[in-house]
Structure 1
């Protein structure tokens, strides 16, 4: 099945506006600048337990905040398309992703001992797919149900590696990306 996904015309919403929204699929950006070879496989396994996943090619990127005076470790970034086995709210997904980050040892508070922040795992939601016009009396999906992709406004415009990962996943999933610039 082919779905048109035009990033220029998709509605952008702030996450706080969508907390109770039922989510059926997500496009995620994963990132790690510390022991990525350990943490990325762990999170991919945890995500696969939630439904079907497809992965973009991983990219190694320099930390854009690094300077010659203050070098920082490179990030390994990867995008993930996750089709959830069962819909959950955005709030539930966000909590679950924070838990996954914590299980990888992610520390959100800046440690004063060093100016170089080690990020074991960062999971960002770029896009969500929601069910619209759902018949509240029906517990099962019907062929007449429609889905809508929404961009997380706090993440847009996407970084270059995010844009590349989303484009790759869109093409892998037979979604048509109709855009001249992301």
Structure 2
């Protein structure tokens, strides 16, 4: 059974680790940043549905943001960004999650920079992992429920410091989602 805890999750105080350090970690929940600058009204709902099939999700308010690499000489389309909290129905490794998210991007027609055909890159879908919750106590007597395990939230070092819209989305989800704080030891 999950216990809700009313504590302010202080993102700045969380450990920051590289994805390479965490590949085999058992992940129970993630905070994601979604982004699209091409047909976002089509691709965001599709990915949100795919994510919901993996567990329980909660969404931040979507933000419309200019591409920070745009210039007057080379204008670029705005991005629609949204943060997602996903509590997984069953734990998986970070490596498995990363592969799954790359597959979801590909199913939306995502082109990587190496194969982009124009100077203005159309990003149908970008899924970035900002924070992960990992199991820290593998000696629990409960073998059927990972919600009884001790866990901790970690920041993906390659994504920190967060962009303004990511920080706003994470803060919004923390403030409205007490489930984020379940079993989190601060």
**TM-score normalised by the chain length of structure 2:** 0.89
> How many equivalent pairs are there?
176
Greater shift after overlay, 64-73 or 140-149? Answer: 140-149
Distance in 1, matches of 2:95 and 2:158, equals 15
Contact 2:36–2:125 (CA<8 Å) still a contact in 1? Answer: yes
Q: Encode CA deviations 1:43-67: one digit per residue, 9 max, x unaligned.
A: 0000000000000000000000001
- Inter-CA distance 143–31: structure 2 relative to 1 (3 Å threshold): closer
1:13 is aligned, of 14, 17, 36, to 17
Unpaired stretches in structure 2, ≥5 consecutive residues: 182-186
Partner residue in 1 for 2:84: 80
Partner residue in 1 for 2:158: 154
Tell me, yes or no, if structure 1 residue 70 matches structure 2 residue 68.
Answer: no
Distance in 1, matches of 2:148 and 2:169, equals 30
2:102 is aligned, of 78, 98, 104, to 98
Partner residue in 2 for 1:22: 26
| Corresponding residue SS for 1:168 | helix
Distance in 2, matches of 1:29 and 1:112, equals 22
- Inter-CA distance 38–71: structure 2 relative to 1 (3 Å threshold): same
Contact 2:29–2:132 (CA<8 Å) still a contact in 1? Answer: yes
- Inter-CA distance 12–115: structure 2 relative to 1 (3 Å threshold): same
**TM-score normalised by the chain length of structure 1:** 0.91
Unpaired stretches in structure 1, ≥5 consecutive residues: 177-182
| Corresponding residue SS for 2:135 | strand
Distance in 1, matches of 2:30 and 2:82, equals 14
Tell me, yes or no, if structure 1 residue 50 matches structure 2 residue 54.
Answer: yes
Q: Tell me by how many angstroms 1:145 deviates.
A: 2.6
Bigger helix fraction: 2
CA RMSD of aligned residues (A): 1.7
